Amino acid sequence: MRLSISNIGWTENDDNVVYQFMKEYGYSGLEIAPTRIFPVSPYDHLEEAALWSKELYQRYGFSVPSMQSIWYGRQGKIFGTVEERQVLLDYTKRAIDFAHAIGCKNLVFGCPRNRVIPEDGDRKIAVGFFKELGDYALSKNTVIGMEANPPIYNTNFINDTKSALELIQEVNSEGFKLNLDVGTMIYNGESTGELVGNVKYINHVHISEPNLKPIEERELHLELKKILLSEGYQGYVSIEMGKVDNLAVLDKKLKYIARVFQ
């Protein structure tokens, strides 16, 4: 199984050290937050991004399987005004263009605050919104990966994996699939049994903990591996953790996930 880690877990100054850890344990993917590479207006830098990803591969052998924090700093809401929604659609299409430029096959859609649904909100708005984005992503050879976020992340829309799967089937676009978040499963007490028969909808997997704490060794990881393999999962398994100061922690977690999933 292919392994990745998100670069939100350390600072730019430590890139080279972490890259060496990754190479040692057989990681081939570097998940990115676009603003970590281009801090200001990342989607204005398509040519530079393409060169950066090419150099990353040539120098380290890493591809970019996924990007997250795609709406970093955006205030608009899916269930806001028509104008707000159009701005978000246009901005997300630029994110998709960025992903296409770097050969990235997954854009994590978390954005919990931006997707809060009011009491009188119409779910069909989200279906149409994601259908348009999914179809555009597919045309650019990538996928929007819908991530369930529990209420601790300040949202009330798509709080569990089952809800995310229902939305994906409703949207019905090959460019809109599931970004499976293990931290969400842990927080909600979800069973891996809920994934049986649904692995075909998974485009990317985040191994995480609630509130992005350092990952723990869990039986759940072994159960997940078994289901992913049994249903022919071809994507990446990616570590997602908040920033840590002690790189020995990252080294230990990289080694553990490699041991479990390789």
Q: Is residue 74 very low, low, confident or very high in pLDDT (cuts 50, 70, 90)?
A: very high
The average pLDDT across 109-128 equals: 96
Q: Which domain holds residue 15?
A: 2-261
Whole-number pLDDT of residue 89: 98
Whole-number pLDDT of residue 27: 99
Q: What is the DSSP string of 212-248?
A: GPPP---HHHHHHHHHHHHTT--SEEEE-----S-HH
Q: What is the DSSP string of 113-146?
A: GGGPPPTT--HHHHHHHHHHHHHHHHHTT--EEE
CA distance 42 to 157: 27
Whole-number pLDDT of residue 1: 93
The average pLDDT across 243-261 equals: 97
Q: Is residue 201 very low, low, confident or very high in pLDDT (cuts 50, 70, 90)?
A: very high
pLDDT, averaged across the chain? 98
Is 64 within 8 Å of 56 (Cβ atoms)?
yes
- Residue 27: CB atoms within 10 A of its CB come to 25
pTM above 0.95, yes or no: yes
The average pLDDT across 101-111 equals: 98
The average pLDDT across 98-102 equals: 99
**In degrees rounded to 5, what are phi and psi of residue 238?**
-125, 130
For residue range 16-47, list pLDDT tens digits in order. 999 999 999 999 999 999 999 999 999 999 99
* Number of compact structural domains in the chain: 1
> What CATH number should be reported for the domain holding residue 224?
3.20.20.150
For residue range 222-236, list pLDDT tens digits in order. 999 999 999 999 999
The dihedral built from the CA positions of residue 188, 191, 195 and 197, taken in this order, carries a sign that is negative
Whole-number pLDDT of residue 156: 96
CA distance 228 to 240: 18
